[in-house]
Copies of this chain bind each other. A is one copy, B any other.
Amino acid sequence: MVAGALLALGELDAAHTIQLVGRASVIEATLAELLAGEFATLDGARGRVQVVDAPDVIEMSDRASLVLRRPNSSMSLGLRMQAEGRSDAFVSAGNTGAQMAASKALLDLHPGLTRPAISTIFPTAANPVVVLDSGANVDCSAQELVQFARLGAVYAEDLLGRPDPSVGLLSIGEEAEKGNAVVKEANQLLQDAAGINFHGNVEGRDLARGASDRGPIDVVICDGFVGNVLLKFYEALAPVLITMVADGAGIDRALLAGTFKHLDYNQYGGAPLLGVRGVSIISHGSSTPVAIKNALGVAARAVETEMNTHIGRRLADARPSRPPAA
């Protein structure tokens, strides 16, 4: 985490500062070691880093709800700082369930939402596609899938720079009547939803291609069970495929690893938890310093583009307006 923060300082605009929240003595020792060694040439880094002591720890194996009873954990403290306006964004590679619970409790959800969603980037044959939900919600209603469509569209606009993003609904056939019960209902709702550029149903093959026969796709909507299974399957494939190709064609593994970096989650670094009123970025527990640097970059872009404000506005526009007072 500390090395990732220092890498980020080397790339981010000089106005950005980073707060490292955790056990201060451990962080200070790590900082001193890295600044004397690997990052000795990084000028002015120490002045852009603030160490915030959080004596309590939420372990990866702890129940998510524990975070709400541990106000001095790095997870609670870091998110509370944002809720109180002392920071603009939060990045963690800790317990995902705890981060979701604390983000929801401390930052709150935008009005009109029932749940936040985790949005991840899938590399494809065409442009990368935003997939959500990737694991926050396992059993979703059709209405929640429509909410994900609005959240994902703002993500694609602000973080990927896609104007009027095309939103596909993941199913097992392009026809509106194909899918499970929830997806069939969501298809009908999305056809009638104002403010969403609905692409219609898309299939697994369309996600891999980044496009259906009807054109490019920017966002793919699914429940968190399907999204999580797909994400973990895709992430694990890179090393599998490197082995297949290296053994099959006698090609050097190191060369291949470079070409498969599109499939490496470290290149994307962090998945925003969309729907909370703020910026909460979820990173892998096994993140490398490069992944953390990239997650901090995602956080900075989310703040700079005011993604959170745009999400609030988009959701407000979608709510039925009250009848005019008589």
Contact = CB atoms under 8 A, between A and B. Distances in A.
Contacts of A203: 228-229, 232
Given A125-B239, A138-B180, A243-B125, A228 B172 contact: yes
Interface in A113-141: 124-125, 135, 138-139
A240 interface: yes
A203 B180 CA distance: 21
A15 interface: no
A181 B206 CA distance: 28
A145 to B, nearest CB: 13
Nearest to A252: B249
A232 B205 contact: yes
Interface stretch (A17-25, A80-88, A258-266): A258-266
A208 B244 contact: no
A314 interface: no
B229 A208 contact: no
Give the interface size class of chain A.
35 or more
Contacts of A223: 180
B207 A233 contact: yes
A135 B239 CA distance: 27
A235 interface: yes
Contacts of A235: 204-205
A256 interface: yes
Contacts of A207: 233, 236
A1 B45 CA distance: 68
A241 interface: yes
B204 A232 contact: yes
A103 to B, nearest CB: 19
A209 interface: yes
12 contacts: A125-B240, A138-B181, A180-B223, A204-B229, A205-B233, A208-B232, A225-B226, A229-B230, A241-B241, A245-B245, A248-B259, A251-B251
Given A135-B172, A203-B229, A209-B236, 13 more contacts: A125-B239, A138-B181, A139-B180, A171-B229, A172-B228, A172-B229, A203-B228, A204-B228, A207-B233, A230-B230, A244-B263, A247-B259, A248-B260
Interface of A: 124-125, 135, 138-139, 170-172, 179-181, 183, 203-209, 222-226, 228-237, 239-241, 243-245, 247-249, 251, 255-256, 258-260, 262-263
Closest 6 CB pairs of A and B: A248-B259, A204-B232, A204-B233, A205-B236, A208-B236, A125-B240
